[in-house]
């Protein structure tokens, strides 16, 4: 086991690993018994450090047993070692497997949008029931103001005029000529795709015409 | 008794007189106004303002930088959808996270406004300018000014001008009854010697966004139909610009006349009536904005602006084609 893997595990537990690396690590954890065990240990350590005492006993116990086993007469040791220590780990690792499966389930429940892999949710998912994760927020549909006594098509036309007009009527709003656009109804600034020119995004903030 | 009064009067006359509202002349107030536009363009500041129109209220963060390259500005809507507007001089980018679109509009320099100072003399015919006193806005000292229309064809304004930097800190658009129908007010503002350019970068990565532009100003200027006129400057509204646009949702270019009395702005849009069925007939309003549409031969004329409904009707009627 490399230090890098340890660092990554630690970062994953703390929810600080970037999404791509987190994905890889989760795959590795699922495949490797050793990683699963370490993963479980990290959770135990993390909980202990955050003052969540539930696992402290587990740590002490495994440490004590390990110490006891070291002290056992050599005759019994090889056999005991191969059975007892993995058995202890198995319990913890079993929980880890369950957690990993839960995580995998969570990952599958998330809509597979590239680049929107949400690590925070995923890491939280390892310790909590899957059902709590899928949260859909109800958004208030704020339709904004609208034109009096007009059909939607006429209102849309008037909005088009108004946005254009607002570029001119700036004298008293002074420095805030576009404030009204920030405030307006979406339909006022949506552009008909037929006439629109699609621009290619350039991270420098400039854009070029396609 | 008489002597006491005389003494008191003599004593009072030595006290320094506080500057009263009456001592500030209409000319001085108009001078402040001409400097307000300039201050808004030339200073570095960041702050938050609230914008109320009709029964809606929004909070918007603004970052404004002025340097050798000109003006750079970023506005972020803090309420509702996290819309952003980024402006580099005349180049305006609207980012809408809700429909994942970026709209780019290149306002040609010609379409930017002349500052109100150009029209100050003329303004005197239609508005009174009154300094009402000092008031605090965004925890800064401000001069409160009332611009009162002399007739019922335009709205009034109440403005709060930063006493030190002459930035506009608050403004109210007042209807003919004097009620505020639209308000903009800074809740906090910080002025800076310099501002880091990184503050003006958009939050989005842009990869999932569709970038669109209405392309209005990139095409060659379309020939104007100079036969369209507004006769005899009705009630002081003079022709300020004549443009031709291809608006986002229209197939045909729209003839655009911009009229102003120096403070109030009205746009008159003229289209071929047959090509667009969805045109306004008669009056409509949205908050403080009024519109009036009518058919004129084979054309359709719509006047839109933040003026009373009577005014858009008069101005739409004043349009002629020789």
Q: ipTM of the predicted structure?
A: 0.75
Of B36, B173, B202, the CB nearest to A174: B36
Mean pLDDT of chain A: 54
Task: Tell me what pLDDT residue A55 has.
Answer: 40
The answer on pLDDT for B223 being more than 90 is: no
Does residue B210 belong to any structural domain of this protein? no
Helices (H), chain A: 3-13, 19-31, 33-49, 56-71, 77-109, 119-127, 152-166, 179-183, 186-189
B268 and B296 part of one domain: yes
The answer on pLDDT for A192 being more than 80 is: no
Mean local confidence (pLDDT), B53-77: 87
Boundary residue ending a domain (B168, B200, B232): B200
A171 and B62 in contact by Cβ < 8 A? no
A170 and B113 in contact by Cβ < 8 A? yes
Does residue B205 belong to any structural domain of this protein? no
B174 and B30 part of one domain: yes
Between these two residues, A186 and B164, which has the higher pLDDT value? B164
Helices (H), chain B: 2-14, 26-42, 120-123, 309-318
B170 and B60 part of one domain: yes
B185 and B77 part of one domain: yes
Q: Residue B105 is inside which H or E element, if any?
A: strand B101-106
A102-116, B74-88, B144-158, B168-182: the lowest-pLDDT one:
A102-116
What residues in B contact A205, CB-CB < 8 Å? 86, 201-202
Question: CA A66, CA A85: separation in Å to the nearest integer?
Answer: 7
B249 and A156 in contact by Cβ < 8 A? yes
Of B96, B250, B279, the CB nearest to A154: B279
A35-44, A86-95, B232-241: the lowest-pLDDT one:
A86-95
A186 and B98 in contact by Cβ < 8 A? yes
B117 and B255 part of one domain: no
Most confident of A127-136, B9-18, B108-117, B228-237: B228-237
Does residue B181 belong to any structural domain of this protein? yes
* Nearest CA-CA partner of B149 in B113, B178, B106, B117: B178
Of B92, B111, B213, the CB nearest to A197: B213
Does residue B55 belong to any structural domain of this protein? yes
Angle, alpha carbons A152-A155-A159 (nearest 5°): 135
B65 and B160 part of one domain: yes
CB-count burial class (<10 Å; 0-12, 13-18, 19+) for A206: exposed
The answer on pLDDT for B292 being more than 70 is: yes
The answer on pLDDT for A189 being more than 70 is: no
Of A150, A169, A200, the CB nearest to B284: A150
In the β-sheet with B265-272, what is the strand arrangement from edge to edge?
A: B238-245, B254-260, B265-272, B299-305, B289-296, B282-286
A205 and B171 in contact by Cβ < 8 A? no
The answer on pLDDT for A155 being more than 60 is: yes
The answer on pLDDT for B142 being more than 90 is: yes
Q: How many CA atoms lie within 13 A of A130 on its CB side?
A: 13
Does residue B206 belong to any structural domain of this protein? no
Confidence category of residue A144, pLDDT binned at 50, 70, 90:
low
Is this model's pTM higher than 0.80 or not?
no
Question: Tokens representing B25?
Answer: 């002349």
Mean pLDDT of chain B: 81
In total, how many domains does chain B have? 2
Task: Tell me what pLDDT residue B140 has.
Answer: 96
Task: Tell me what pLDDT residue B40 has.
Answer: 82
B209 and A201 in contact by Cβ < 8 A? yes
Question: CA B286, CA A180: separation in Å to the nearest integer?
Answer: 12
Question: Tokens representing B60?
Answer: 């918007």
Residue B286: which CATH number? 3.30.200.100
B96 and B239 part of one domain: no
Mean local confidence (pLDDT), B36-46: 86
The answer on pLDDT for B88 being more than 70 is: yes
Task: Tell me what pLDDT residue B10 has.
Answer: 59
What residues in B contact A175, CB-CB < 8 Å? 37, 40-41, 64, 167-168
B78 and B114 part of one domain: yes
Between these two residues, B259 and B82, which has the higher pLDDT value? B259
B267 and A183 in contact by Cβ < 8 A? no
Task: Tell me what pLDDT residue A105 has.
Answer: 36
Percentages of chain B per state (helix, strand, coil), in multiples of 5 = 20, 45, 35
Q: For an interface test with B, which of A117, A137, A141, A172 has the most B Cβ atoms less than 10 Å from its Cβ?
A: A172
Strand partners, B168: B161
Task: Tell me what pLDDT residue B197 has.
Answer: 86
B36 and A171 in contact by Cβ < 8 A? no
Does residue B32 belong to any structural domain of this protein? yes
Residue listed under structure tokens 């008293």 = A172
Residue listed under structure tokens 């004097």 = B178
How close does chain B come to A15, measured CA to CA in Å? 22
Mean local confidence (pLDDT), A67-78: 52
A50-64, B157-171, B195-209: the lowest-pLDDT one:
A50-64
B150 and B259 part of one domain: no
Question: Tokens representing B102?
Answer: 């970026």
B37 and B157 part of one domain: yes
B161 and B245 part of one domain: no
B211 and A168 in contact by Cβ < 8 A? no
Question: CA B13, CA A206: separation in Å to the nearest integer?
Answer: 65
Q: Decide: helix, strand or coil at residue A63.
A: helix
B288 and B163 part of one domain: no
- Which range of residues forms the domain containing residue B119? 21-200
Phi-psi region of A84 (alpha: psi -120 to 50; beta: other; left: phi over 0): alpha
Does residue B135 belong to any structural domain of this protein? yes
Q: Residue B260 is inside which H or E element, if any?
A: strand B254-260
Residue B184: which CATH number? 2.50.20.10
Does residue B10 belong to any structural domain of this protein? no
Question: CA B24, CA B40: separation in Å to the nearest integer?
Answer: 23
A196 and B215 in contact by Cβ < 8 A? yes
What residues in B contact A167, CB-CB < 8 Å? 107, 111
For A97-126, write each residue's pLDDT tens digit: 444 343 333 333 333 344 444 444 444 444
Q: Residue B316 is inside which H or E element, if any?
A: helix B309-318
Question: CA A36, CA A40: separation in Å to the nearest integer?
Answer: 6
Of B168, B205, B213, the CB nearest to A174: B168
What residues in A contact B286, CB-CB < 8 Å? 145-148, 158, 162
């Amino acid at each position: 086991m490399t230090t890098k893997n340890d660092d990554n595990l630690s970062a994953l537990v703390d929810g600080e690993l970037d999404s791509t690396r987190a994905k890889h690590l989760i795959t590795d954890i699922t495949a490797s018994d050793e990683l699963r065990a370490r993963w479980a240990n990290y959770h135990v350590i993390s909980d202990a450090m955050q003052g969540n005492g539930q696992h402290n006993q587990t740590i002490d116990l495994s440490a004590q047993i390990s110490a006891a086993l070291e002290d056992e007469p050599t005759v019994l040791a090889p056999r005991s070692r191969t059975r007892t220590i993995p058995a202890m780990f198995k319990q913890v690792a079993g929980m880890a497997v369950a957690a990993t499966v839960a995580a995998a389930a969570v990952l599958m429940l998330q809509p597979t949008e590239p680049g929107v892999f949400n690590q925070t949710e995923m890491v939280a998912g390892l310790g909590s029931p899957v059902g709590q994760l899928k949260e859909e927020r109800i958004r208030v549909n704020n339709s904004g103001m609208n034109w009096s006594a007009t059909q939607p098509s006429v209102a849309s036309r008037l909005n088009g005029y108004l946005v254009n007009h607002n570029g001119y009527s700036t004298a008293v709003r002074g420095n805030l000529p576009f404030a009204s656009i920030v405030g307006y109804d979406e339909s006022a600034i949506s552009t008909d795709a037929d006439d629109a020119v699609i621009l290619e995004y350039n991270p420098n903030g400039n854009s070029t015409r396609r | 008794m008489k002597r006491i009064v005389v003494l008191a009067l003599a004593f009072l006359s030595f006290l320094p007189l506080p500057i009263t509202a009456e001592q500030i002349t209409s000319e001085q107030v108009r001078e402040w106004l001409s400097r307000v536009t300039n201050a808004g363009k030339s200073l570095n500041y960041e702050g938050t303002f609230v914008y109320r129109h009709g029964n809606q209220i929004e909070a918007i963060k603004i970052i404004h930088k002025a340097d050798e390259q000109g003006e750079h500005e970023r506005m972020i809507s803090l309420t509702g959808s996290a819309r952003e507007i980024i402006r580099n001089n005349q180049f305006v980018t609207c980012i809408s996270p809700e429909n994942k679109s970026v709209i780019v509009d290149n306002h040609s320099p010609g379409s930017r406004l002349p500052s109100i100072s150009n029209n100050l003399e003329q303004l005197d015919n239609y508005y009174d300018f009154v300094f009402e006193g000092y008031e605090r806005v965004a925890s800064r000292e401000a001069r409160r000014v009332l611009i009162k229309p002399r007739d019922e064809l335009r709205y009034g304004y109440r403005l709060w001008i930063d006493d030190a930097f002459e930035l506009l800190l608050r403004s109210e658009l007042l209807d003919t009854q004097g009620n505020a129908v639209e308000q903009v007010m800074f809740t906090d503002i910080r002025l800076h010697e310099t501002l880091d350019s990184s503050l003006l970068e958009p939050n989005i990565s842009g990869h999932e966004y569709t970038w669109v532009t209405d392309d209005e100003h990139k095409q060659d200027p379309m020939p104007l139909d100079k036969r369209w006129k507004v006769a005899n400057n009705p009630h002081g509204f003079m022709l300020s610009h004549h443009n031709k646009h291809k608006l986002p949702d229209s197939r045909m270019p729209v003839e655009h006349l911009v009229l102003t009395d120096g403070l109030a702005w009205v746009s008159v849009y003229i289209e071929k009536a047959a090509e667009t069925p969805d045109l306004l007939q008669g009056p409509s309003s949205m908050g403080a904005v009024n519109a009036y549409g009518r058919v004129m031969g084979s054309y359709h004329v719509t006047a839109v602006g933040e003026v009373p409904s009577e005014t858009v009707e008069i101005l739409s009627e004043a349009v002629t084609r020789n």
